[in-house]
Amino acid sequence: MLVLCGAIFLEGVDISMMGVALPAIRADLGLSTAALQWVVSGYVLGYGGFVLLGGRAADLLGRRRMFIGWLGVFIAFSGLGGLATEGWMLILARFATGVAAAFLAPAGLSIITTTFPEGAARDRAVLVYAGAAAGGFSLGMVVGGLLTSVDWRWVFFAPVVMASLLLAAALPLVPRDVPAAGGRARFDVPGTLALTGAMLLLVVAVVHLPEVAAWVTAATLAGSAALFAAFVAVQRRSPAPLMRLGILRSRPLLRANIGAFLLVAGFMGFQFVAVLYLQELRGWSEIETGLALAVIGIDAVIAPTLTPRLVARYGNQRVIAVGLVLVALAFAWFLPLGMTWSFLTLLPGLLAIGFGFALAYGPLTIAATDDVDAEEQGLASGILTTSFQFGSALGLAVTTAVVVAAAGSGTTLDSYRAGLLVPVAALVIASLVTVAGLRRRGSAAPVEELARAH
């Protein structure tokens, strides 16, 4: 658990601390705004485009093999990013690091879900794991600010040091497993190419939505839709499909992924507006901004301690619903954002975000992998990670588009307030979907009780 939680904590830190280092990277390498965006977009493309393949590879080729092997790839390309002297070198290194994370993350989660028996033991392990991921994501901006104040290259070198220690510990500690393919894996190559291409095009369309012409976005989305259709057609005919389409018939899995998608979409949109507000409008430094937003990192404490007790007492779905509603209310707290707001004014909303995130994130991870066969745990983990990645890209893109559009008809502060409507709307929808699932489960409860009594 220490090794696996360390890996997902590192991944969370790696994603969030990059935003703080971007201005220093641009100044040193002379990147344009468009090129600078690819430092972030390259990682998202690599991660989002390959994560389902990563989950399937963990199931077929062995979870330990995928975890240890791709942790080594992560180390190599993170180090190359720190040594980059040209923009294209850095972007390529970020893309490869994202691909490594796409194979690493589902392998780590599926090791947990197949090692611990379904029930309280697995739920607690998943909640601890999710807490480490959320804590890394929340604290990444602080770490990024501190490292960038020394040299932006340490944003890449520091993960190399930590990942190397994790790799040394993983070799003797991560349990061995027997690959489902028995060492003779059969991959659905046409399906893999179609799915990866569809995801890459979808991520490109979402990430670049605010800055390209409408017809370019429409053409990109049409290409993505065509490749998705080709993927479905291939899966129906392939003797060894990349993804069993029947897994998507699970309503709990779909609800969990919708909730995860919208939760991260809302958080990324909020973080984007909060950083612009604090740094560009209020003049806070990078370290001051990171320390302020670090309050959200309280989820790293609550997730492994309080959340498991609440899940055991009230049930997974109820805890998810309360968490999502709390985050929605927290985002709404910031809607009347003012120029004279002090840190104490921001504090209640930031604490509520951290508390609600801790209640929702881990239980959503449980819900997305519960009642899934052991040989498909990697696939279920890959689907969940895909939801997180596309959620972050979509939330950031839509929020940016709203802020830019609102800036043309009002003040900068008005545009930020308009942008905050996106996170609020995302969490309201997520809450409604979860509550609807609760009501459906409640109406089915008498039948289930009768069956157990019989």
Evaluate whether 286 touches 413 at the Cβ level (below 8 Å): no
Mean pLDDT across 37-66: 80
Can you tell me the distance from the alpha carbon of 124 to that of 130, in angstroms, rounded to the nearest whole number?
A: 10
Per the CB < 8 A criterion, the answer to whether 257 and 387 are in contact is: yes
pLDDT range class, residue 451, cuts 50, 70, 90: very low
Residue linked to tokens 């209310």: 329
DSSP 8-state assignment for residue 279: I
380 alpha carbon, distance to own chain's centre: 14
Residue 132's Cβ-side half-sphere holds a number of Cα atoms within 13 Å equal to: 19
**Three-state DSSP state, 129:** helix
pLDDT tens digits, residue range 80-137? Answer: 999 988 888 998 999 999 899 989 888 888 888 888 887 778 878 887 887 787 778 7
pLDDT at 247 over 90: no
Whether 128 contacts 396, CB under 8 Å:
no
Confidence of residue 59 (pLDDT cuts 50, 70, 90): confident
* Of the listed ranges 51-65, 199-213, 260-274, 348-362, the one predicted with least confidence: 199-213
Say yes or no to pLDDT of 446 above 50. Answer: no
Binned at pLDDT 50, 70 and 90, residue 76 comes out as very high
What's the average model confidence in pLDDT over 222-239? 88
The residues near 337 (Cβ < 8 Å, ≥ 6 apart) are: 277, 413, 416, 417, 420
262 pLDDT more than 90: yes
**How far from 256 is each of 133, 299, 317, CA to CA, in Å?**
17, 19, 9
Pairwise CA distance, residues 378 & 104, whole Å: 11
Amino acid at 373: D
User: At residue 202, does pLDDT exceed 80?
Assistant: no
Instruction: Give the largest CA-CA distance in the chain.
Output: 72
Q: How far is CA 223 from CA 202, 210, 227, 320, in A?
A: 9, 19, 6, 35
CB 141 within 8 A of CB 20: yes
Residue 161: per-residue pLDDT: 93
Q: What distance in Å separates the CA atoms of residue 344 and residue 353, rounded to the nearest whole number? A: 15
Distance between CA 37 and CA 48 in Å, rounded?
Answer: 16
What is the distance between the alpha carbons of residues 361 and 264, in angstroms, rounded to a whole number? Answer: 9
pLDDT above 70 as % of the chain: 90
Measured N-to-C along each axis, helices 377-407 and 189-207 cross at an angle, to the nearest 10 degrees, of 20
Query: Is the pLDDT reported for residue 255 higher than 70?
Result: yes
Instruction: Dump pLDDT digits (tens) for 278-324.
Output: 877 888 887 887 788 878 878 778 877 888 889 889 988 899 999 99
Percentage above 90 pLDDT, the chain: 28
Q: How confident is the model at residue 399 (pLDDT cuts 50, 70, 90)?
A: confident
